[in-house]
Structure formats: structure tokens, C-alpha cells
Amino acid sequence: RRKGAIFDLDGVITDTAKYHYLAWKRLASELGLYFDEKINERLKGIGRLESLEIILEENGQNFSHQEKEYYANRKNQYYVEMIKNITPKDILPGVTNLIATLKAWGVKLAVASASKNAPTVLKNLRIIEWFDHVVDAGRIKKGKPDPEIFLVAAQNIGVKPWECVGFEDSAAGIEALKRAGMLAVGIGDKEALKDADLVVKDLTFITPILELFF
Ligand code: G16
Ligand code: MG
């Protein structure tokens, strides 16, 4: 029986993935770098500095550490500006119902997002109080696909990794969940998330399926 549910944020609870994309797109065009949806797919679930490194690598470029910090910070300023307007209306379909159902089943809930802006987004969505724990991305040493963030989440809700179900929209996140020994539910494209135990388009009709696990 599963006792814990761990949620990724961007692309699972709300579509901030589109804002990350737009913020990177703006920075890339300012720097004359190529950036498209395909490169963006590689950035999902990946930390800020590492994301910039991927964009630079795709463009055959390299910046000094100082430059990278500077431009990653600029991208974050664009992003922070965009997420100011987030409201409960931006919660993705099925999420509220799923969280309420899991709560009613007595399942412990955590958020494991690579984003340092996760608490702000969760507050703007007015759902932060639903979660028993929100992992502090700033304290995680190894990002997804390393399992660390999910293991830390499980520990903080007092549930063993194999008793957890994780919800992820990124390939890196699915790999991290599997390496953590958790059941991995992918949200999005079957092809991109082929290592997930189960893939759904969105969370609308997920609760009857989850009844099998909890
Ligand atoms: C998210 C996004 C990534 C982003 C990362 C860091 O992770 O998917 O694209 O680069 O957080 O975000 P920030 O720059 O706000 O710290 P997740 O794990 O919520 O999907
Ligand atoms: Mg995500």
C-alpha cells in the first residue's frame, strides 16, 4: 500500500513550464542564441544554471562562471515577473480533485520541484497549505535525474520511498523517481516519458486508477 504522494510543480500542478520557456526564449534572443521547443524539453526539471549550460552547449558556446550566474539571474528576473500574476485559476485540470482525494485517503503529500520559486508559485495558487512538505530546492545537491530530491521529500513526510507515488512531466524527473524506487506517473507525452510506470495526458481521470495503489 502506498502512503505518500510526491508532486513535481512545473508542468504537473501548474503550467509554469510555459513561463520558463518564454523567459529562456527572451534571454536567448537577447544573447543571439538559438532556442526552440526541442531544446526546452531538455530543460524540464533541470536547475537554472544547468539549464543555461544546456542552451550554451546546444549553441556550441561557453561562458565564464560569472557570466553564467549573471545571465541565469536575468532569466530568473523575467520568470519572477511572469509568475506574479498566477492565481488559483492556473491550477491544472484534475489537480485540486486529486489532492483532496489523496488527503481524504490519509496520504501524505509533498512537492519536489527543482524550482527555487516553488513556494511563491504554490502560495499564488493558494494550495501550499495542502502539502505536508515542500522541498527546498536550494538545499538539494544533485538535481533530477538524481533521486535525491524525491528521497528528501519522502523522508520529510515520514514515508518509505517504495511507499510513494510520484507525479512528473519531465524525462529527468521520471528517471529520478525510478532511481528512488517510487511508482512513477508521467503527465504528458508517452514517447518523452516512456520510462514511467503509467502515463496520462492530464490528471483529470486519475483517481480511479490510483485506487489500485493507495
Ligand atoms: C523546474 C523547471 C525547470 C527549471 C527549474 C528551476 O522544475 O521544470 O525548467 O529550470 O525548475 O527553476 P527556478 O529557476 O525557478 O529555480 P520542476 O522540478 O518543478 O519541474
Ligand atoms: Mg516539471
Ligand 1: nearest atom to the Cα of 72: 14
The three three-digit cell numbers of residue 22, written as one number: 518564454
pLDDT by residue (tens digit) across 189-200?
A: 999 899 999 999
Which atom number of ligand 1 is nearest to the Cα of residue 116?
16
CA distance 75 to 135: 22
- Ligand 1: list residues with CB < 6 Å: 8-11, 17, 20, 43-48, 51, 76, 79, 113-117, 137, 170
Mean pLDDT of all residues in 55-76: 98
Between 133 and 213, whose confidence is greater? 133
Interface pTM, i.e. ipTM: 0.93
Q: Residue range 2-22: average pLDDT?
A: 95
Q: Hey, what's the cell of 177?
A: 523517481
State pTM to two decimals: 0.93
pLDDT at position 1 over 90: no
Neighbours of 93 (CB within 10 A): 12
The pLDDT, as a whole number, for residue 159 is 98
Dump pLDDT digits (tens) for 85-106: 999 999 999 999 999 999 999 9
Query: Which residue has a Cα nearest atom 15 of ligand 1?
Result: 115
